[in-house]
Structure 1
Amino acid sequence: MNLTNLHTHTLYCDGMYSAEDMILAAINLKFQSIGISTHGPTPFVSDWNIQSGRVENYMEEITVLKEKYKNQIDVLLGMELDYIPGIGFDELSRSLIKRLDYYIGSVHYLGYFESGIMWTVDYNLEELTQGIKESFGGNARHAVELYYKMISEMATNYQPPIIGHLDLFKKNNKDNALFDEKEDWYVKAVENCLKVIKNTSCSIEINTGGIARGYTKEQYPSTFILKMIKDMEIPVVINSDAHTKEGIDCKFTEMYDLVRELGFNSLNYLTKEGWSKQNI
């Protein structure tokens, strides 16, 4: 088994450790490769995305670390880029894609408060509820459906190598505070999104970050969605969305067991030689 994690965050964004700390932790776990994927820059002020003025420093540092540890592990230069409604990937993000070993395409931002500030689906329930009220007249269904349409649009327009935390919207939906994942309309929204992704080159990540950070008890995407992904033969990767070095391999053993139980035959992974599949 090729041990790897392509979704990690560092002090360049909202991570708790340096890139070198994350690499050393991966080496200690006997990983064959590790991707560093800071939250990419956004065209507005954000306290958890890398600032545009630090992008070159980030890319230079990861390049140096690649060389430093090349005999111990494959270090891969990535970013998690935000696909933003009405903007998509902004000009700076688009210019960075060609310079990266890979990137993760994610939807965090979904609408604007009346103040003009953008809100995200994953900060906390208070912000999410306020955002849905001010952007969608309080209609959570319309917000969720737009979220999945944005992922579909991103997959169609850019085909990111990895689609991040597909059902991130559930993070603040504890006890069905806003919607029920079993409702027909929700399942249909997910299904329609997966049908689009199926016709692209994208992989979907199985992401344990919500578990690692204590937000959820289940991985992204939910197991019933993973069954749909398996039936549609969409490729998957396993990542932990690590914001700490301790979380680099969070629940990986359980995720390997889960994909086997669901009938997946392989996982995608990336090394310096490129993308490959490994049997599980």
Structure 2
Amino acid sequence: MDLCTYHSHCTFCDGKAPAEEFVKAAIEAGFHSYGVSSHSPLPFDTRWSLSKGDVEAYLQEMERLKKQYAGHIELYVGLEIDYLNDGWGPANDYFQRMPLDYRIGSVHLVTNGETGEMMDMDGSFDDFRENFRNVYHDDLKHLVRDYFRSSARMVELGGFDFVAHLDKISMNGSLVEPMLTEQAWYNELLREYLQLIAEKGVMVEVNTKAYTKKGLMFPNVKYFKWLKELNIPVMVNSDAHLPQLVNDNRELAFRLLRDAGVKSTMRLHRGVWEEVPMSEIKN
């Protein structure tokens, strides 16, 4: 396995331990590089995102860890930046001016294109169900279309290195409609989104966080073949919120990518993204 991950969280956002504990766990596991990517500040308060007032402390702590563990591991500081609209997302000057090593493009909050109301499509299904009923009046097609519309606009605007969990809408969406990912309209929307990603030359992560509890990877394993067909560069990230999960299910993801014919993966080395052939990665 290529021992690296660039999507992880800590107590500066909704992670369950300080950043240093994740770094220690990555070193113990033999990682060559590791990135911390707190949820970005938002223009309103949440329980799960980095606050604007803590940004400087976050950057200072990551700089301290880089110096302390130099020679043991390559450490990188990023942000998982939520796209809300054209005025708030990865391409926004606020995020572009930050001294980050990389940026992740992400959509958790979906705006109803008709009413302007916003809902969080992530989190527990109970919360999702209530938000879905209030904002979308149980119209799943409307929600999914708005999700992919926002995601596509984020990709068009750019300003980030890779897309996080690109089809995460399917996690709670499939609990509303169990056959969601079998529906032609859903697959057409996802295929169009992947084609745009390919056209823009954007990297995509395979996110393994939900596999142990929910049996899901993002994108869904069934779409790995589309990543191959469209020649989209991929990496495997654990999206760890606990230090002991820094490498959770990554070996399985590499095996499934190989089975789908994917020939290489991406990693950071000396601050530069590089392509690594699967043939050079040992299980």
| Residues 153 and 111 of structure 1: CA distance in aligned 2, closer, same or farther (over 3 Å) | closer
Q: Which runs of 5+ in 1 are unaligned?
A: none
Of stretches 256-265 and 166-175 in structure 1, the one that deviates more from structure 2 is 166-175
Q: What does residue 234 of structure 1 align with? A: 232
Q: Which runs of 5+ in 2 are unaligned?
A: 279-283
Deviation at 1:179, TM superposition (A): 5.5
Q: Aligned pair 1:96/2:95, yes or no?
A: yes
Query: Which consecutive aligned stretches of 4+ in structure 1 deviate over 4 angstroms post-superposition?
Result: none
TM-score by length of 1: 0.92
Q: Aligned pair 1:248/2:246, yes or no?
A: yes
Out of 265, 268, 271, the residue aligned to residue 269 of structure 2 is: 271
Of stretches 78-87 and 240-249 in structure 1, the one that deviates more from structure 2 is 78-87
Number of aligned positions between the proteins: 274
Of stretches 186-195 and 93-102 in structure 1, the one that deviates more from structure 2 is 93-102
Match for 2:106: what amino acid?
S
| Residues 138 and 178 of structure 1: CA distance in aligned 2, closer, same or farther (over 3 Å) | farther
Q: Aligned residues: percent identity? A: 28
* Secondary structure, counterpart of 1:199 in structure 2: helix
Q: What does residue 281 of structure 2 align with? A: none
| Residues 86 and 124 of structure 1: CA distance in aligned 2, closer, same or farther (over 3 Å) | farther
Of stretches 117-126 and 58-67 in structure 1, the one that deviates more from structure 2 is 117-126
Is the CA contact 1:85–1:109 (under 8 Å) kept in the aligned structure 2?
A: no
Q: Pairwise CA RMSD of aligned residues? A: 2.0
Deviation at 1:240, TM superposition (A): 0.6
Is the CA contact 1:85–1:110 (under 8 Å) kept in the aligned structure 2?
A: no
Alignment of structure 1 residues 125-164 onto 2, 5 Å: 125-164=125-164
Partners of 1:178 and 1:156 in 2: how far apart? 30
| Residues 94 and 210 of structure 1: CA distance in aligned 2, closer, same or farther (over 3 Å) | farther
Deviation at 1:264, TM superposition (A): 0.5
* Secondary structure, counterpart of 2:15 in structure 1: coil
Match for 1:236: what amino acid?
V
Q: What does residue 206 of structure 1 align with? A: 206
Deviation at 1:195, TM superposition (A): 1.0
Partners of 1:132 and 1:274 in 2: how far apart? 40
Deviation at 1:210, TM superposition (A): 1.2
Of stretches 39-48 and 177-186 in structure 1, the one that deviates more from structure 2 is 177-186
Match for 1:19: what amino acid?
A
Is the CA contact 1:173–1:179 (under 8 Å) kept in the aligned structure 2?
A: no
Of stretches 144-153 and 118-127 in structure 1, the one that deviates more from structure 2 is 118-127
Partners of 1:159 and 1:89 in 2: how far apart? 8
Match for 2:254: what amino acid?
Y
Alignment of structure 1 residues 1-280 onto 2, 5 Å: 2-85=2-85, 87-89=87-89, 94-98=93-97, 99-111=99-111, 118-175=118-175, 177=177, 180-212=180-212, 214=213, 216-280=214-278
Partners of 1:166 and 1:251 in 2: how far apart? 18
Partners of 2:157 and 2:75 in 1: how far apart? 28
Partners of 1:86 and 1:128 in 2: how far apart? 24
Deviation string 1:29-54 (CA, Å, 9 cap, x unpaired) is 11000000000100011010011100
Is the CA contact 2:163–2:205 (under 8 Å) kept in the aligned structure 1?
A: yes
Is the CA contact 2:90–2:159 (under 8 Å) kept in the aligned structure 1?
A: no
Partners of 2:259 and 2:219 in 1: how far apart? 16
